[in-house]
Structure 1
Amino acid sequence: MRFLHTADWQLGMGRRFLDPERQGQFDAARRDVLGTLGRLAVSEGCEAIVVGGDVFETNTESARTVRQAMEKLKGLPLKVFLLPGNHDPLNAASIWGSERFAQACPENVVVLRDETPVEVRPGFEVVGAPWRSKRPTSDLLGDLLGALDPAPPGVVRVVVAHGAVDAVAPQSDPVSLIRVAGVRAALEAGKAHYVALGDRHSTTEVTPRVWYSGAPEPTAFVETDPGNVLVVEIDEDDLSRPPMVAKHRVATWRFRSVEGTEGELNGAADIAGLRERLDAMPDKERTIVKLRLRGVLSVSDKAAYDDLRRTSEDLFAAVVDSSRSHLEVRPDDADFGTLGLSGFAARAVDDLRELATGPDPDAARRASDALALLVTLSPLSGRAS
Structure 2
Amino acid sequence: MHTADLQVGRVYRQFDSVDAPAIAEERIHVVARMAALASERQVDAVLVAGDVFDLQTVPDRVIRQLFGAMAGYVGTWVLIPGNHDAALAESVWTRAQRLNAIPPNVRVMLEPGVVGLPACQTAVLAAPLTQRHTYNDTTEFFDGVETPPGWLRIGLAHGSVEGILAEDIDSANPISSSRCETARLDYLALGDWHGHKRVNHRCSYSGTPEQDRFRGNQPGYCLIVDLQPGVIPTVEAVRVGRYRWHEIEHAVAVDSDIDLLCARLATFARDDIGQVRVSGRSDLAGQRRLLDAMGRAQAEMRSLSWDVSDLRLMPTAEDIASLKADGYLSEVIEELRAAQADGAADADARVAREALTILCGALASSTVGASSGSVGSSTAAAP
- Which TM-score bucket, shorter chain as reference? 0.7 to 0.9
Give the Å deviation of 1:335.
Answer: 2.3
Q: Where does residue 225 of structure 1 map in the other structure?
A: 218
Q: Where does residue 164 of structure 2 map in the other structure?
A: 168
| 24-33 or 369-378: bigger deviation | 369-378
Give the Å deviation of 1:258.
Answer: 2.2
1:245 to 2:247 alignment: no
Give the Å deviation of 1:217.
Answer: 0.6
Q: Where does residue 145 of structure 2 map in the other structure?
A: 148
1:234 to 2:227 alignment: yes
Q: Where does residue 127 of structure 1 map in the other structure?
A: 125
C-alpha distance in 1 between matches for 2:15 and 2:122: 43
Match of 1:70 among 67, 71, 75: 67
Query: Superposition pairs for residues 241-320 of structure 1, below 5 Å?
Result: 241-259=231-249, 263-281=250-268, 284-320=269-305
Q: Aligned in 2, Cα 1:205/1:99: closer, same or farther, shift over 3 Å? A: closer
Q: Aligned in 2, Cα 1:164/1:320: closer, same or farther, shift over 3 Å? A: farther
Q: Read off the aligned partner of 2:295 and give its amino acid letter.
A: R
Q: Where does residue 325 of structure 2 map in the other structure?
A: 341
Q: CA RMSD in A?
A: 2.6
User: Structure 1, unaligned stretches of length 5 or more?
Assistant: none
Q: Read off the aligned partner of 1:119 and give its amino acid letter.
A: G
Higher relative contact order (CA 8 A, sep 6+): 1
| 60-69 or 302-311: bigger deviation | 302-311
TM norm structure 2: 0.87
Residues 2-28 of structure 1 show CA distances to partners (whole Å, capped at 9, x for unaligned) of xx1111100011223221221111122
Match of 1:46 among 40, 43, 46: 43
| 90-99 or 371-380: bigger deviation | 371-380
Give the Å deviation of 1:320.
Answer: 4.1
Query: Superposition pairs for residues 99-114 of structure 1, below 5 Å?
Result: 102-114=99-111
Q: Secondary structure at the match of 1:201?
A: coil
Aligned pair count?
Answer: 367
Paired residues of 2:196 and 2:207 also in contact (CA < 8 A):
yes
Residues 48-81 of structure 1 show CA distances to partners (whole Å, capped at 9, x for unaligned) of 1000000000111111111111111136320111
Q: Where does residue 191 of structure 2 map in the other structure?
A: 198
C-alpha distance in 2 between matches for 1:270 and 1:380: 29
C-alpha distance in 2 between matches for 1:126 and 1:322: 48
Paired residues of 1:335 and 1:375 also in contact (CA < 8 A):
no
Q: Read off the aligned partner of 2:195 and give its amino acid letter.
A: S
Paired residues of 2:79 and 2:106 also in contact (CA < 8 A):
yes
Paired residues of 2:262 and 2:294 also in contact (CA < 8 A):
no
Give the Å deviation of 1:99.
Answer: 5.1
C-alpha distance in 2 between matches for 1:55 and 1:220: 17
C-alpha distance in 2 between matches for 1:140 and 1:32: 31
C-alpha distance in 2 between matches for 1:148 and 1:359: 66
TM norm structure 1: 0.87
1:97 to 2:94 alignment: yes
Q: Aligned in 2, Cα 1:66/1:121: closer, same or farther, shift over 3 Å? A: same
Q: Read off the aligned partner of 1:163 and give its amino acid letter.
A: G
| 176-185 or 224-233: bigger deviation | 176-185
Percent identical pairs in the alignment equals 28
